[in-house]
Structure 1
Amino acid sequence: MSIDWKRRSGKVLPLIKLIDFLEVATSTGFNEQFIYALTNHSPEAEEKAIALSGIIAMA
C-alpha cells in the first residue's frame, strides 16, 4: 500500500532536495501551520518535530 502511494504521489509531486524542503519549511513557517484535524489546536513544539520527521521519512 505505501509503495503504491509513493509511486502515485511521485507522479504529482516534484522531486526536491531534503535540505531545500527544510529551508522552505523554516523560512515560510510551513511547520507552524500544523493543526490537529479533530481539535483544530496546534501541537506542541516536540510534536511538530515528530510530524516533520514523519514527512522526511516518507521521502
Structure 2
Amino acid sequence: MPIKFWIENILIIEFFIFVLETIVILRTKPIYMPVPKLIKILRLIKKKFLIGRE
C-alpha cells in the first residue's frame, strides 16, 4: 500500500480522536451546548481540516 494512503489514514484517525476529545470536553463542562450547534462547529473544524490537508 502506498505511503500516502497510510498518511491520510493517520490524519483521519487523528481528526476523529480530536473530535472525540472535543465532545468529551464540551460534555464535561457545565455549559450545555445544543447538538445542532455542536454539529455545526464540528463541520467547520472538518472543513478547515480538509482544506489544511490539500
Looking at secondary structure, tell me which structure has more helix per residue: 2
Instruction: Please indicate, yes or no, whether the TM-score normalized by the shorter chain is above 0.5.
Output: no
Task: Give the number of the structure with larger relative contact order, counting CA–CA contacts within 8 Å between residues 6 or more apart.
Answer: 2
Could you say which TM-score interval applies, normalised by the shorter chain? Answer: 0.3 to 0.5
TM-score, L = length of structure 1: 0.32
TM-score, L = length of structure 2: 0.33
